[in-house]
Amino acid sequence: MNINCEMARDLLPMYKDKCLSPSSEEALREHLEGCAACRRYLHEYKARQKDDILIPPGDFADISRRLRRHRTVTEIAVGAAVAVLAAYAVIKTLKGGQSHE
C-alpha cells in the first residue's frame, strides 16, 4: 500500500502511540524509508510531544489535587444554591397559602 505525505503525517500520532493496524504501520514505515521530509516531521513531532509532557510528577499531583478541591467547592456551591432555592420555594408556598386565608 502506498500512502502520500499527507496520509503519513495523519498516521504519525497513532504510529507513535502504537495504535496503528499492522498494515497501516507497514505502509507508514515504507513511506518513512523513502521520504526524508516525513522522517524529519516524525522527529520534530516526537520532540514536540516531549516538550508537552515536561510536567514533573509532583506538579501533576498538585494540579489534580487542586482540581479535585475546586470540584468539591463547586459541588458545595451548587448544593447551597439548590437548598436556598428550595427554602425560598417553601417559604413562598407557605406565604401564598396564608394570604388566601
Task: For the CB of residue 50, give the shortest distance to Zn ion in the complex, in Å.
Answer: 22
- Of 1, 5, 85, 91, the one binding Zn ion (CB under 5 A) is 5
Residues 29-88 that bind Zn ion (CB under 5 A): 35, 38
Check residue 28 for interaction with Zn ion (CB under 5 A).
no
Please answer whether residues 45 and 37 qualify as being in contact, where contact means their C-beta atoms are separated by less than 8 angstroms: no
Please answer whether residues 23 and 1 qualify as being in contact, where contact means their C-beta atoms are separated by less than 8 angstroms: yes
Check residue 11 for interaction with Zn ion (CB under 5 A).
no
Give the relative orientation of helices 5-16 and 36-52 as an angle to the nearest 10 degrees. Answer: 40
In the structure grid, which three cell numbers stand for residue 44, read together? 520534530
Q: List contacts with Zn ion (CB under 5 A).
A: 5, 8, 35, 38
